[in-house]
Structure 1
Amino acid sequence: MLKKNRLTMAVSAALGMSAAAILPSVANAQDELMVEEVVVTGSRIQKANLVSASPVTQVDAEEFKFQGATRVEDLMKNLPQVYSNQNSSQANGATGTATLNLRNLGDERTLVLVNGRRLPAGSPIQGGSGGADINQIPAALIERVEVLTGGASATYGSDAVAGVVNFIMMDDFEGVKFDYQFSQYQHDNDNDHLQDIVGGAGFPFPDGSATDGDIQDWSLVIGSNLANGRGNVTAYAGYREIDAVFQSQRDYSSCALNTTASGCLGSGTSAEGTFITPAGVFFVDGNQFIPGNKVYNYGPLNSYQRPDERYTGGAFGRFTINEHVETYTELSFMDNQTNAQIAPSGAFGLALNISPDNPFLSDQQRGILFGDLDTLNDDGTAPITVLRRNVEGGPRNQDLRHTTFRGVFGFRGDINETWRYDVYGLYSQVSMENTYYNDLSNTKIANAVDAVIDPETGDTTCASVVDGSDPNCVPWNIWQTGGVDPAAPAYMTLPLFARGTTEQKVFSGYVAGSLGDYGIQLPTADSGVEIVVGAEYRKESLSFNPDEGFQLGLGAGQGGATPAVDGSYDVTEFFTEMSIPVIEGAAFAEEVTLDLGYRYSEYEIEDNSISTDTYGIRAAWALNSDLKLRGSYQRAVRAPNIRELFQPQGFNLFDMVQDPCTTSPDGNPPTATLAQCQRSGVTPEQYGNFVDSFAGQYNFLQGGSTELQPEESDTYSIGIVVTPDVLDGLNVSVDWYSIEIEQGIDNLGPEFILNQCLAGNDALCANVKRGPLGDLWLGSDVNTSGHIVATNDNLAREEVEGFDVSADLTVAVGDMGSLNFSNNMSLITKWDQQEVDVAPVVSCDGVWGGECGYPTPDFRNNLRTTWLTPWDMTFSLMWRHIGGTDDQRGNVDIDSIDYFDLAAVWDVVDSTTLRLGVNNILDEEPPIVGDGAGPSNNGNGGTFPGMYDALGRYMYVGLTVQF
């Protein structure tokens, strides 16, 4: 048995796989693989040898049990090579999806497959990058996950620049399996430092132990073989329910922190109002204008874990018709509904004209507004910009629902002893419903603020009621503390609706053959050349249909108009692969193999045709059974995906410490000169004098572009695999990689655009649109409000280099069973980006914030120790290490952090397994960095929940019954 286990481990290491947990069920399954040829992610050529030229990390189904993961993204994001941007922790800017991001190069550069075939774009909603939504993958049916951490576009086409995540599903299950798991979070709110900050600012905070965020997950799998083993049907159904956690439930997120995380920042759109007038900035106390402003603590009402309800169902089937034809199908369905809650809506910098006859104004307020006749409009009204939070109306809620269907129908088999084939059709559709509750209408706000005395009744009402233009209007008294009529928010509320779909159609087929049967082989090898030739047609479509409120930008909290979009593209591709055994059975060359791949693609995007060539070469050299070398080069060309082409354009927010052209709210003078600021549209009168954003948030216009060109990348890798005969059970693989991307598809950073403009880049100055007051943050009208245009474009260059190290060791401990040690490490030595040719190269390895955005730790490591006891119990301890990152802006550096996870699995009887565990057993708090961890950097609650454990301990107990 030890010899067999060693062989199993050798296969894992030779394929570059990290055996996260080698349980008996896994070992038996891998032993079965040894007797037949297999296809490893990254190629369509079947191999039975122990050498693979591509580094592949494998996660087995047992790892879901050890981590208690009910969300697939929670398991995957713990891999050192994987990052998570969109996930269940997002609130402001959430798409309601869960995506994967290899090497921190972007979701759009990570191709997600199920059984080697594509998943569709996750959602048409604004804010995402087009990555696949892995919510649709049923965890109960996953056999293993293979992660190819290197380019594979020659094999799979576009989107595989950073690598491939391939979910291999069970298709041979027999029996019935029921699984239930309950899990929740627990955290001790005992951060005295942050409690002092929050309490000192006058805001409440939680204290003591909190237990919340309950997750319940049910799944049922039923399978049966057909016709004496000629086929199998495996069906599944699942239900998951997740309770919400809000930022108010953790002391470290109970106020929105400033840039240095040293004080509460908040928003100038407050309950007291911020009124910007020619005479200065004021807030309301009683019925008086007081100079200055109050801040609103918007953080506590935001979701920290969105509530979620998901239904899944489907079936996988295959049947051998005869010796030449096996038919197969994959059917999957998902309905996922989640709610992203954020702070109340309001008037977010709405420019209004106030009449001196407004009955709500006090004499003091009227004197300030109308005291200087030179500042009045021609009709005698006073210009004013209003920021007033609708605290009386409650928080905004974005209800996001995605319904996904995916169907695959295909045929495969042996033509003869030499040739085999695989042909399939695939159709996927994602239907999105976005229902936005409790936003306000800018039009109705303007009506409600324009209060008058009804000449007939003597009552205070709206001018629009008197003139008949809006008889339902209720006046909004924001000029007195406690003066708001509850009917006013109800009147101003504007429900918003958007519906959309993404569709994917694929027709693909290939033939594969062993040319050695025709004598085509090198004289130095015993095996012949293997070849694959195929073709594929794919069509991607996106339709986004917002209602009139979205399209006209009527929602006060939406940041501007969101247009409808309807677009598609198709691509016809031809591909080939070849595996050439060069040497076999020689001294110091037990096996040398050369793999070649090529793909030609012809894209039709509206009226444009784009052709691309993608190719790769990989080599593997087994000196002997102990030592193997491998290397590869991949030339990848990635055309823009459907989201990058047709993503709806609209306002979003980006974080910046201070507008360089004015005085900050805390009194810091402009950081740029007048001459520099004039390049960006600031007048001498405005310089240093216009009101800066109180929350450090500014507008930018995001969205797709049909003018995008394909990006190009070169990926290199060199690796070594060691399975020493003298140390039975040890397997080590070390791989160096380099990924260079040119003309990368992304949007320029808004702050980068502004800084380049100030530095003299006149071309980028055209993207800086100052508002009437000189600002970049007031208002939501794309035609009049200040903002920076940062839509998708082809940028200059990105370059990533590093090492991946995997090590496995299994040792027997006498009659106490065995121990398995499995380690997976990622070391990044270079992560450089250059946004435009004239800009400096920015180094982002070990850096977060600024132009680097989301943290890129230069060192991440996972070590799992598993004890397989002889008493039907298995214990496992995981150590997760995340290296520190420096704040590019020099404010808050993130220290390295260590997590420890403990799990136990007990086979109670043959048919029943009980599991329980605690992740983050020491209740380590996430690094709190302040407002730099905002939506524009895929952060939330002052941290990055996609990287760190944001909610504390995660505890779970699960039961599996199988018969």
Structure 2
Amino acid sequence: MFAGGMALGASVVHAQDNAAAPAASMQRVEVTGSRIPSLNTEGSSPITTLSAKDIKIDGVRNTEDLLNNLPQVFASQGAAISNGASGTATVDLRGMGSQRTLVLVNGKRLPSGSVLSVAADLNQIPSELIRRVDVLTGGAGAVYGSGAVSGVVNFILKDNYEGVELEANISGANHKQHNDEIQGVVNKKGFPLPGNHTFDAKKYDFSLLAGSNFADNKGNATFFVSHRHADALLQSQRDFSACSLGASDPGFACSGSGTSIARVGTFTPDANGNPRKYVSATDAYNFGPLNFFQRPSDEYNVNSMLHYDINENARLYSEFNFHNYTTDAQIAPGGIFYGQQATIGYDNPLLNDAWRAALGLKAPGDTTTVSVGKRNVEGGPRSTNITDSSFREVLGVKGMIGDWSYDVFGQFARVNHSDRATGYFSTRLIANALDVVADPTTGKAVCRSVVNGSDPACVPYNLFKQGGVTQAALDYLNATGSNGGFTQQSVFGLNFGTDLTRFGLKLPTAESGAGVSFGYEQRMEKLSFQPDYENQTGDLSGAGGASPAVTGAYNVKEAFGEFKLPLLDNMPFSKHMDLSGSYRRSNYSTDAKTNTFGLGLDWQPIDQVRVRGSAQRAVRAPNIYELYTPQAVVLAGPNDDPCGGESPKATQAQCANTGLPASLYGKVAENSTNQYNGRTGGNPNVKPETANTYTIGIVIDPIKNLTITLDAFKLKIKDAIQAVNAQSVFTQCLQTGNALYCNMIHRDSLGSLWLLPTGYVEAGTTNIGSQGTSGLDVGASYRTRLPQSYGNLDFTLNGTYLKSYTVENLPGTGSYDCAGLYGPTCGISAPAMPKWRHKLRTTWSSPYNLDLSLTWRYIDRVKNDMLDSNTQLAGELDTQRDAYLASRSYFDLNGVYRFSRKLALSFGVNNLLDKDPPIASSSSVTGTYGNGNTFPQVYDAYGRFIYANVTYRF
């Protein structure tokens, strides 16, 4: 048993690379290769394994989509996110956050994925190169180190290939617009509706895999290269996202943003250039259609793997991968967001008498300060072009020294990041462009800064007339921003292991002795995020706030060890029993010292029954962002302020709790986009978090070829490193007046939490009280041979029941349970937390070179957290249509036809019935993962998905 995760004394069976590889039988192995998802039935912790064949059957080419189909995995960053996209793809086991899932390739960790998201980027792992994926959800911190709090995902790549394999794939969506209710809502508003789409959201990829043995079969070199392209899909291309939905009980209505046509105070210009009242029901801006449902992207991967047997005791090995990923994240146009304060004088030559009267300007010299805003529809949408380039090299030697196995390696990885944002206005120039006076010489409208010489380039921006914006004004205000930086990781490790049986170190009740391993690892992590001036100062209007520079590094030195001790063999009521244990001591350069350990028991009382259980202590040290990010006010506040608008939903007393003066009650501008400020940032005083993970399960083989597994799990994180939940803070203050929460709310001089940067809720990083989850994983695998040589049928079930998902924001303040919920508070942790999810697959392996598979993916319904009785969650829904997101059943059909040993065709349809995702209004579909009135990282949002794959080997 190696510390890297291999099983001591067990032969690992791998799926063969050729298309006709037979299914491996259940053996005493870490995982088994199979056509269908297999169950690891031995060992103290449950492992789910996906083979290369299963990847083909799933039909998805993005690695994050492959994992999202597993019920143990919650949605995270991916290609369906546009507003808030990091450009990475991440995995989140148990919904504890992607930073708590450790991602490995061939047993060695991936680096931080980007300066925008420190979780490992799955885009670096091409699905075509995967031999299998092991998903360990029982906790493995002592084996793998920090980050393995909720589990480990280990990608085993094809690294010993012989021959040449060419692969080409095409896929896309086939969707009929059939949401009659939303179509009626959109038609009523007068917005355009999309027609049916035969084939959109297209993706193409091509790959080459080649390998050969050399030096009389002492070595092997394997090489892989691929290119993948994805087309854009806009929200305007689906009827259910053709407008941003708002409240209109008992149904929906098209809503939108208050930053729309020109607004000056409560007025907007009519067709004649005179002021009229702004009416949100008709004047709000429909920001949704220009957002991407699927980001366009181009991706290149180059991988090479080599090993050479120096002698029978030493194998030199190397792994190298290069990855380049470019994508565009597009959202609706920016502009001057309503809430910008402007001082307007009587002498402004852009005003006519009607405007002066409406603004209360009666005589020369009079001025007034009002909120203004206008969408930059003339300039087009905001877009951020993101590029990440990474490379990773592993070089090591492993083998045997006497009876001891060893592995010594070094690893270096770096991810270079750059992005460029366009379509924004400069906040610092807006004030100049709005401060307009008459030119002393010509009498024409000019900027005051031109007259006084402080900014001779300024061009007035006309809010008082439809069509009054000139190209010169756009050129003056337009601003771009760019960020650069890198993450870097270097690792040195060594481990040794042996079986002590031959030394006589075994119990008299067991047939074999203990297995031991121990080792040392040293790791350095470095991050540098360097935004330009516009980003650092928050100068890009509508970019969500300032992005401060972050630079930091730390290193950790770790010693670890494991044992596996057989206790009983072939005894009454004990066919086999063994005890395993692991321990890791970590010393961080940040002065943190941690201890991680685990114990496991594996007991087989009879041939047909196996009982397994484990108890783990995992530790996660804070990452560089959590330690060193400067404080900044950004769009990270609560999702609602019921004290806004002319008729607030909250009482005056409740709003007073949140710092709103009585004089401003009913006078705070309403935020139609539900985006409020939070002050976020790192905390150098954050301590490592600790987690206790418990699993207990049973594996039953009641009849031949049938295996059933039940594994209960419980995970509790103490002193969790997390940003404070701004929504929970605000709700608690509003309802209870608790000073602990109310002191974290800071309203600006206008009474808002969004108009000025002085209005925000504290949402910085700290050690919150706790976070935990519990539930039951259910698995089943059955194979039967059909009569008259008609082949085999395989059935596989993988399901998870979520019993609880608890969060305590601050120690001693009580917790809330998000299991079965979604909404503004629970959505901070995960977009939706159904109590039951499953994936059930039936595969017919026919004697006609054809395999057919039918998969049923099920997601249970979830309730809006504001309907929960817990006072930290309870609130007032804008529409009862948001009360639930209905359950979804998706049926996928796949076929694989082998023309010969060289040529195979895989084809299929996912979401066969073209089911729409469940829909909710924009006030409930919140957070990074909310997009297009749904959660496209959770539900199938594109419609029926068709794909075809051709593989040729020679």
| Same-fold status (TM-score > 0.5) | yes
2:592 counterpart residue number: 610
Q: Distance in 2 between matches of 1:533 and 1:22?
A: 31
Distance 1:486 1:290, change over 3 A: same
Cα deviation, 1:381-409, whole Å, max 9, x if unaligned, reads: 32112121111110000111111111111
Q: Distance in 2 between matches of 1:513 and 1:22?
A: 28
1:415 counterpart residue number: 401
Residues 413 and 420, structure 1, Cα contact 8 Å, conserved in 2:
yes
* Corresponding position: 1:249 with 2:223: no
Q: Which amino acid aligns with 1:669?
A: P
Cα deviation, 1:718-756, whole Å, max 9, x if unaligned, reads: 1111123xx221111111111111111111221211122
Residues 169 and 206, structure 2, Cα contact 8 Å, conserved in 1:
yes
The counterpart of 1:332, out of the listed 321, 329, 337, is: 321
Distance 1:208 1:140, change over 3 A: closer
Q: Which amino acid aligns with 2:400?
A: D
The counterpart of 2:710, out of the listed 734, 737, 743, is: 734
1:673 counterpart residue number: 652
Matches within 5 A, 1:132-211: 132-211=120-199
Per the normalisation by structure 2, the TM-score is: 0.92
Which deviates the most, 846-855 or 876-885?
846-855
Q: Which amino acid aligns with 2:727?
A: E
Q: Distance in 2 between matches of 1:932 and 1:366?
A: 36
Distance 1:84 1:649, change over 3 A: farther
Q: Distance in 1 between matches of 2:78 and 2:682?
A: 22
Cα deviation, 1:544-578, whole Å, max 9, x if unaligned, reads: 10111111111111232221111111111111100
Q: Distance in 2 between matches of 1:460 and 1:829?
A: 66
Structure 1 counterpart SS, 2:672: coil
Q: 1:458 offset after TM fit, Å?
A: 3.9
1:363 counterpart residue number: 353
1:262 counterpart residue number: 252
2:310 counterpart residue number: 321
1:462 counterpart residue number: 447
Structure 2 counterpart SS, 1:344: coil
Segments of structure 2 that go 5 or more residues without pairing to the other structure are 1-5, 33-39, 868-879
Q: Distance in 1 between matches of 2:18 and 2:903?
A: 16
Segments of structure 1 that go 5 or more residues without pairing to the other structure are 1-10, 42-48
Q: 1:425 offset after TM fit, Å?
A: 1.0
Structure 1 counterpart SS, 2:24: helix
2:741 counterpart residue number: 764
Q: Distance in 2 between matches of 1:657 and 1:308?
A: 30
Q: 1:180 offset after TM fit, Å?
A: 0.4
Cα deviation, 1:82-116, whole Å, max 9, x if unaligned, reads: 11221001011110110000111110111111011
Cα deviation, 1:120-149, whole Å, max 9, x if unaligned, reads: 111112xx4x21110000211100000001
Q: 1:207 offset after TM fit, Å?
A: 3.1
Q: Which amino acid aligns with 1:268?
A: G
Q: Distance in 1 between matches of 2:559 and 2:529?
A: 31
Cα deviation, 1:51-76, whole Å, max 9, x if unaligned, reads: 31110000001122112221111111
The counterpart of 1:529, out of the listed 514, 519, 523, is: 514
Cα deviation, 1:821-862, whole Å, max 9, x if unaligned, reads: 111011111112221234332111111113211210010011
Q: 1:805 offset after TM fit, Å?
A: 1.0
Q: Which amino acid aligns with 2:700?
A: V
* Corresponding position: 1:504 with 2:480: no
Matches within 5 A, 1:398-413: 398-413=384-399
Which deviates the most, 248-257 or 487-496?
487-496
What percent of counterpart residues are identical? 40
2:367 counterpart residue number: 381
2:202 counterpart residue number: 214
* Corresponding position: 1:474 with 2:487: no
Distance 1:57 1:112, change over 3 A: same
Residues 263 and 463, structure 2, Cα contact 8 Å, conserved in 1:
no
1:354 counterpart residue number: 344
Residues 275 and 385, structure 1, Cα contact 8 Å, conserved in 2:
yes
Structure 2 counterpart SS, 1:541: strand
Q: 1:701 offset after TM fit, Å?
A: 2.4
2:950 counterpart residue number: 959
Q: Which amino acid aligns with 2:185?
A: I
Structure 2 counterpart SS, 1:430: strand
Structure 1 counterpart SS, 2:945: strand
2:916 counterpart residue number: 925
1:288 counterpart residue number: 274
* Corresponding position: 1:833 with 2:807: yes
1:231 counterpart residue number: 219
Structure 2 counterpart SS, 1:936: coil
Count of residues in Structure 1 that have an aligned counterpart in Structure 2: 914
Which deviates the most, 834-843 or 224-233?
834-843
Matches within 5 A, 1:305-704: 305-348=294-337, 349-371=339-361, 380-416=366-402, 418-605=403-590, 609-647=591-629, 649-653=631-635, 658-662=640-644, 664=645, 668-674=647-653, 676-704=654-682
Q: Distance in 1 between matches of 2:545 and 2:533?
A: 12
Matches within 5 A, 1:296-307: 296-307=285-296
Q: 1:492 offset after TM fit, Å?
A: 0.7
The counterpart of 1:718, out of the listed 687, 696, 700, is: 696
Residues 655 and 932, structure 1, Cα contact 8 Å, conserved in 2:
no
Per the normalisation by structure 1, the TM-score is: 0.92
Distance 1:259 1:847, change over 3 A: farther
Q: 1:644 offset after TM fit, Å?
A: 2.4
Residues 873 and 905, structure 1, Cα contact 8 Å, conserved in 2:
yes
Structure 1 counterpart SS, 2:841: strand
Cα deviation, 1:625-675, whole Å, max 9, x if unaligned, reads: 21111010001121112332234654443586642334x3xx54341433x
Structure 2 counterpart SS, 1:925: coil
Structure 2 counterpart SS, 1:465: helix
Instruction: Please report the RMSD computed on the Cα atoms of aligned residues, expressed in angstroms.
Output: 2.4
Cα deviation, 1:168-215, whole Å, max 9, x if unaligned, reads: 111110011110001111111121100111121222221334531110
Distance 1:239 1:547, change over 3 A: same
Q: Distance in 1 between matches of 2:425 and 2:401?
A: 65
Q: Distance in 2 between matches of 1:849 and 1:18?
A: 44
Q: Which amino acid aligns with 1:885?
A: V
1:8 counterpart residue number: none
The counterpart of 1:30, out of the listed 19, 24, 27, is: 24
Residues 51 and 622, structure 1, Cα contact 8 Å, conserved in 2:
no
Matches within 5 A, 1:47-58: 51-58=42-49
Distance 1:840 1:259, change over 3 A: farther
Residues 637 and 761, structure 2, Cα contact 8 Å, conserved in 1:
no
Distance 1:960 1:719, change over 3 A: same
2:893 counterpart residue number: 902
Q: 1:762 offset after TM fit, Å?
A: 2.0
Structure 1 counterpart SS, 2:254: coil
Structure 1 counterpart SS, 2:370: strand
